[in-house]
Structure 1
Amino acid sequence: MALIFTALATQVEAGCRDIEYRKAAYAICEVDLAEADLRLFLNDAEGRPLGQFSAVDKVLAAEGRALAFAMNAGMYHSDRSPVGLYIENGREVTSIVTRAGPGNFGMVPNGLFCISEGRADVIETQAFLRRKPACRYATQSGPMLVVDGVLHPRFLKDSTSRYVRNGVGTTADGKRAVFVISRQAVTFHEFGSLFRDHLNLPNALYFDGSVSRLYAPELNRNDLGFSLGPMVGLVVPDTH
């Protein structure tokens, strides 16, 4: 079981861990939503894509805060704008997409990662439309990895499609979010099974593959590469 980001009144302690499951290696970071300051990031104050974890840290430095961990959090167009619904600090930036379509995003059921007061939830898109949760932050992606304890119906156990993949799962009570990135190429079936069978999470959402990146100082990870779209990060007081 991975270490948990334990939220304290004055400080949030970050903890990430490498694990192995069914002969595949993964990095896992967990967040306890009781007190944690978990946010999504896309653009700077001038509307330009932040693109990198280091750019997010520069923005947070003005608040006297910093990232404890971060990862890419959803698919995006060439201009770095989100493919589906994206909400940041209560403001809807892009609209929800409800139709099936090409690529992983359009492999319905897809879903959303919603951060609200004191909780975070992975919610299938149609359920999201019915429930209309009050998300302070939200990002839409796809496919869903696990829906109410069931793997996505299109995942094949004998698939040969393998990529480095990342995603997020949440507990039924919304109090814990678990972020995972594979350390090697895995199938959708293998990745979804990790969330359902090893982490015991009823709902999980795919963020992306091959472009998957992680910032986790405890694991000596600060993955570099071309500019990203949406990013999710745990924000803590800057102690440097």
Structure 2
Amino acid sequence: MKIWPSLFAALSLMVPRTALAEDPCRTMDFEGLPFTVCTASAGDDIRLWLQDGSGRFIGAPGRVQDTLAPGERLVFAMNAGMYHPSREPAGLYVENGAERTALATRAGGGNFGLVPNGVFCVADRLRVIETRAFAAERPACRFATQSGPMLVIGGALHPRFLPDSDSTYIRNGVGVSPDGQTAWFVISDRAVNFHRFARFFRDGLGARDALYFDGSISRLSVPGQGRNDFGFPVGPIVGLVAHD
């Protein structure tokens, strides 16, 4: 989400080669509501994108395919974190090991400032790390995006979430398995509040750590399923690439 209202150490830059036999996105029901879950594994070619080769903001998950090299195929992509009206990331953004924007550690307005917030980090393991813990550890990430709020922190829901909140939107985010080998990229297919969305990650998927990406502007593209959500231009985008 934009920051509008309701908006290290060097790594090897060798990109892992992923050949997927089937689309990893499926619909799951939780408490009577549908969620689309796209699954990726550590070692898969998970990337973040912001601009194309000409320096223009990509702006839409479905446009990522246009930026890929011959033989590369987009499996899925979604918006991936808070951003300013300029579409620059609101917090940490790392692409191919290069830090574009710095970690933001202060509380602020909007969902991003609803601390604790956190960072999704792609390295040898897949991690969602609370921002203060990330600042203390400073792990080397091949790709990273900061967003907020955290949905699940060490198995606990964010303390500000209310079970009966009437603030409901189409929301998306990412959760990781306790062993760091699996990441679940999720979008609600109907409007949900924070509490239910977080519980889906914890109770439906078994994630002990999960991070909110956005709400109301959330979008998912799954070319193999013919899905390409329409909406306003976005900032950071995360997705999975296969190599044919």
Q: What TM-score do you get using the length of structure 1 for normalisation? A: 0.91
State the percentage of identical aligned residues.
55
Distance apart, 1:55 and its partner CA = 2.8
Distance 1:120 1:209 in 2: 23
Q: Deviations over 1:40-85 (max 9, x none)?
A: 000112322111234311110x342120011110011111100100
Q: Which residue in the other structure is 2:122 paired with?
A: 115
Instruction: After TM superposition, give the deviation of residue 9 of structure 1 in Å.
Output: 7.2
CA–CA distance in 2 between the matches of 1:218 and 1:28? 14
State the 4+ residue runs in structure 1 displaced beyond 6 angstroms: none
Aligned equivalent of 1:58 = 66
1:24 aligns with 2:24: no
Mind listing any 5+ residue stretches in structure 1 that lack a counterpart? 1-7
Does the 8 A contact of 2:161 with 2:195 survive in 1?
Answer: yes
Give the 3-state SS of the residue equivalent to 2:67 in structure 1. helix
Please report how far the alpha carbon of residue 112 of structure 1 lies from its aligned counterpart in structure 2 after TM superposition.
Answer: 0.4
Within the alignment, does 1:48 sit opposite 2:56 as a pair?
yes
- Decide whether aligned partners of structure 1 residues 212 and 9 sit closer, same or farther in structure 2, where only a CA change above 3 A counts: closer
CA distance in 1, matches of 2:66, 2:120: 25
Q: 1:185 aligns with which of 170, 177, 191?
A: 191
Tell me if structure 2 keeps the 8 A contact 1:15–1:218: no
* Structure-1 separation of matches of 2:201 and 2:63: 30
| 1:36 has 2:44 as partner | yes
Establish whether residue 207 from structure 1 lines up as the match of residue 213 from structure 2.
Answer: yes
- Counterpart of 1:100 in structure 2 is 107
SS in 2 for 1:195: helix
Q: Deviations over 1:176-198 (max 9, x none)?
A: 00011001110000000001111
Distance in structure 2 (CA, Å) of the matches to 1:110 and 1:237: 33
Mapping 1:1-240, distance limit 5 Å: 11-13=19-21, 14-33=23-42, 35-60=43-68, 62-117=69-124, 119-238=125-244
Contact conserved, 1:72 with 1:230, CA < 8 A, in 2?
yes
Contact 2:128 2:176 in 1 (8 A): yes
CA distance in 2, matches of 1:182, 1:104: 17
> Quick check: 1:12–1:36 contact (8 Å CA) kept in 2?
no
Query: What's the RMSD between the two structures over aligned residues?
Result: 1.5
Q: Does the CA-based 8 Å contact 1:74-1:82 persist in structure 2?
A: yes
The number of residues matched between the two structures is 228
TM-score normalized by the length of structure 2: 0.90
Deviations, residues 113-171 of structure 1 (Å, cap 9, x unaligned): 00013x21000001111111110100000000000000000000111110000000001
Q: Call closer, same or farther: CA 1:163–1:126 in 2, change over 3 Å.
A: same
Q: Hey, what's the Cα distance between the residues in 1 that align with 2:210 and 2:227?
A: 23
**More off after superposition, 146-155 vs 72-81:** 72-81
Residue 5 of structure 1: aligned partner: none
